Structure formats: structure tokens, C-alpha cells
Chain A
């Protein structure tokens, strides 16, 4: 099979890249080993926030924000996106200072936030516990249904001409003159002028083929969902410490996450940890006391690529022309993926993008150690 661009990985990153590329007139083959969205992109928390992000991600995150608001027009499905606003909780004065500092970064990027002290928290978010010190609220951020997003992008991309292969992974990548030859598990071969590595937690493997090293390890954040109860939690919750994140959908289920589950030794699958179960469910009941009474009906995990500095590996390979990396999203990829596809397609089809992703370049690991501090929250 011959195409302009072959994408390895059918998570939201790969699917969004596929859609933007076919729209830019490229012929695209997307290869997914399991099912579209089967990993991080389908299992994640569904948080769509710019709030509290590392400033280096903000250009990308802001662009993604605009796409999320128009998701219905882009892919024909709004993916249940709800701009409820995002509330980040501080439990101490020191944590509040972190929020205050971010509010000025936010202002610079056109993301205004509202700071709340204990009293105004109480008045505005009565379902919250009374022990929180304060919080910062970012209007416009919100949440969406991760089970719908990647399939919606893939379906659209397929309808517009992309070839979407599922259940057949890439096993090797070789150079074939100045093209790439990707061999699949089924022994099918794909030839492409451009290769996009969107293999999520497994992206490091393909990067290594071309000598690109990135300190990305697989982790398995753990999620929970409650039975449906009356809809009261009308904002996405996060904490400065990142220990817990929580949202409710209008159907009534409360979805929350925190801690990490257990990874299989081969890092392919993961499963929930019972210790994390006890801790996180306990924390959720501390933060929103009414949750103590209700039942948790399911827990799960997703495998995510976590980079040492908490930032994705995104941009052209420093070593091989026409190879682009887009993996290791470190817990932030659901929100950003729609823009990742847009930016990559601009880079591939036009050679440049107005969105500044230079700080995320794979190049940062070729030289001296980076001094960027990792952000802890999903």
C-alpha cells in the first residue's frame, strides 16, 4: 500500500492527525494494533482543561480549546463536550500561591481565571467540603466523553478518504530509499513518504528506530465511576497536588481518578490496584462529602506514556527527515490531541504552523538535561 503519510497509533492523537491530513489533501493510512481509542484515548478521565497547564503547552492547549468548542462541526459529534469550567483546589496557603501565580500566566495567554477564598468557595460550590483553603476557577474548560472522541475522529477521517486499519499493529519500520516501509503484524506493507509516530505509551519504541531517545515511561492512571445520582457537581474538579480529579455528567454518574494502577510487565495491559481503589475513593469522599453514601460501580485504568518532564514529545525527528513524533502526552493528551493533528498536518502539508510547539520538540532530549518541572495533575 502506498500513501503520503502513514500514522502508527489509532488513539486520539493519531485519529486527529489523520482527519486533518486528509482535509489538507494528503493520502493517509492509519495503523492501529488494537481498536481505535482502546488505550489512553478511550480510558481517560475526559478532562478538557487549559487551567494549570505548563505554560509551554499553552499555545497548543489554547488552540485545542477552540477546536473542542466546535467539535460538532469538525467531526459531526460533539463528544458530549460540556464547558462547565474547571475548579482547581488548594488545601493550603502554599498551594493557593501556586494558583495565584498561574493566574497571571493564564492572563498572558488570554485565559482569565477567578480566584476563590474559603468563603466564596462555599457560596459558589456548596457541594464541596468545607476544609479546602481556596481555589481557582477557569470558565470555558470542561469535560467530554473519551469513549466517543477517537472513534468519532476515525470515522470522519475514514469517510473523507483515510484508510483506517484496526487490529493489525506495525511490527517494523525500515527505510526504502527516501520513503518509509512499515510492516504490519499481518505482513502487509505500507510505503509512505512521511511517518507519524503516534503510538502513545509505546511511541518510544518507534522513536528508537531512528536513534531518537525520549525519557517516556508507561504508567497506568486509575479511574472510577459511581452509580448515577442527582446532578450537582457542575464543574470539573482538580487539585493542585494532582491527587484527585473528578467530574459529574448530567446523567448522574460521577467519574473520578487518582493514583496509578498496575501495569503488566510487558506494559501492554494494566489493571486497577485495590490499594489505590481504597485511597482514591476515600479522597473523593473527603472532597465531596455526599459521595460517601453512593456506590462506586467500576474502576479501570489506561496505559499512558509519561515523559520525565511532563511534556509531550511532539514535532519533527531531529535525526530523520519526514518522521514526526507525537507521543508521551503525560496525562494531557485528551485535551490537546485535536490541536496536535491540526499542527502536525500544517507542518507536514505546509512546512510550518503558527502554533508554537518548539518547547515540546523531541530535540530537547538530544543535549543537556532539561530543567523543566513536571506538572503532576492529569
Chain B
């Protein structure tokens, strides 16, 4: 089945970081945005409120607001403009509303 991915073209001496995505440990690199980390991991960012599908951002520059994610402590962040920090725990809850 199709699953999009970001492909890295340079690095790889960047420092590694670990974050938790839906309870699973995921490796990212220093300097990645949350969007990049998720798109290199498994290709989706959030469940949309009003359609069954998942979303993975669109503009990557903080305009479309389609990549807001929730941390385990309830905090909301825009994935494309937030650098990953070690230990971040993201919860991509399933769709909830009508």
C-alpha cells in the first residue's frame, strides 16, 4: 500500500534523538521538524476531525495549519514549525468528531 515518506539527501553525522510516537520509540535527528520526523517515520501526521483520512501537512511553512499534533500532556504544536526535542511524546488520536 502507498505510504509517503520524506527522503533525506544529506547529513548523517547529525545527532540522533528519540521521540515517542503513539507509544513507539522513533528515531529522529537534531534539526528535524516534527513534520520531517513523522514523515521519515511512517508517513502521516494526524487524523482529520471531519474526514476519515489522515493528513500529513501541506504547506510546510506554517500557513495551512494542517499539521497540528497533540503531545501526551495535551500540548498542541504545529509540526512543520516545531523542531523535535528528545523525549517528545506525540499522540495521533483517532478521529473524534462528526
The answer to whether A and B come from one shared complex is yes
Known: A230-B96, A230-B97, A294-B76. A251 touches B68 (CB 8 A): no
Q: Would A227 and B68 count as touching, CB distance under 8 A?
A: yes
Is B50 interfacial (CB-CB < 8 Å)? yes
Q: Would A251 and B74 count as touching, CB distance under 8 A?
A: no
Chain A residues with CB under 8 Å of B93's CB are: 230
Q: Would B49 and A228 count as touching, CB distance under 8 A?
A: yes
Q: Which residue, B68, B74, B96, B97, has most C-beta atoms of chain A within 10 A?
A: B97
Bound-complex Cα distance A228 to B98 (A): 11
Bound-complex Cα distance A361 to B85 (A): 64
**A352 CB to nearest B CB, Å:** 45
Chain B contact residue count (CB 8 A cutoff) = 10
Is A372 interfacial (CB-CB < 8 Å)? no
Chain A residues with CB under 8 Å of B15's CB are: none
Chain B residues with CB under 8 Å of A250's CB are: 97-98
Q: Would B96 and A252 count as touching, CB distance under 8 A?
A: yes
**A126 CB to nearest B CB, Å:** 15
Partner of B97, one of A252, A290, A293: A252
Main secondary structure of the interface of A (DSSP, over half): loop
**B75 CB to nearest A CB, Å:** 6
Number of chain A interface residues as a range = 10 to 19
Residue interface mask B43-75, A partner, CB < 8 A = 1: 000000110000000000000000010000011
Residue interface mask A335-348, B partner, CB < 8 A = 1: 00000000000000
User: How many residue pairs at the A-B interface have CB separations less than 8 Å?
Assistant: 26
Q: Would B68 and A295 count as touching, CB distance under 8 A?
A: yes
**A253 CB to nearest B CB, Å:** 9
Known: A230-B97, A231-B96. A251 touches B76 (CB 8 A): no
B83-98, CB < 8 A from A = 93, 96-98
Q: Would B98 and A251 count as touching, CB distance under 8 A?
A: yes
Across the A-B interface, the 3 shortest Cβ-Cβ residue pairs: A293-B74, A252-B97, A230-B96
Q: Would A293 and B76 count as touching, CB distance under 8 A?
A: yes
A296-340, CB < 8 A from B = none
Bound-complex Cα distance A230 to B47 (A): 12
Closest to B78 in A: A295
Known: A251-B49, A252-B49. A228 touches B97 (CB 8 A): yes
Chain A residues with CB under 8 Å of B49's CB are: 228, 251-252
Chain B residues with CB under 8 Å of A230's CB are: 93, 96-97
Closest to A289 in B: B74
**A233 CB to nearest B CB, Å:** 13
Q: Would A251 and B50 count as touching, CB distance under 8 A?
A: yes
Q: Would B76 and A295 count as touching, CB distance under 8 A?
A: yes
**A169 CB to nearest B CB, Å:** 37
Bound-complex Cα distance A295 to B96 (A): 17
Bound-complex Cα distance A257 to B68 (A): 24
Chain B residues with CB under 8 Å of A228's CB are: 49-50, 97
Bound-complex Cα distance A252 to B97 (A): 6
Chain B residues with CB under 8 Å of A227's CB are: 68, 76
Chain A residues with CB under 8 Å of B96's CB are: 230-231, 252
**B54 CB to nearest A CB, Å:** 16
Bound-complex Cα distance A252 to B95 (A): 11
Chain A residues with CB under 8 Å of B97's CB are: 228, 230-231, 250-252
Residue interface mask A265-298, B partner, CB < 8 A = 1: 0000000000000000000000000100111000
14 A/B residue pairs, CB under 8 Å, sorted by A: A227-B68, A227-B76, A228-B49, A228-B50, A228-B97, A230-B93, A250-B97, A251-B50, A251-B98, A252-B96, A252-B97, A293-B74, A293-B75, A294-B76
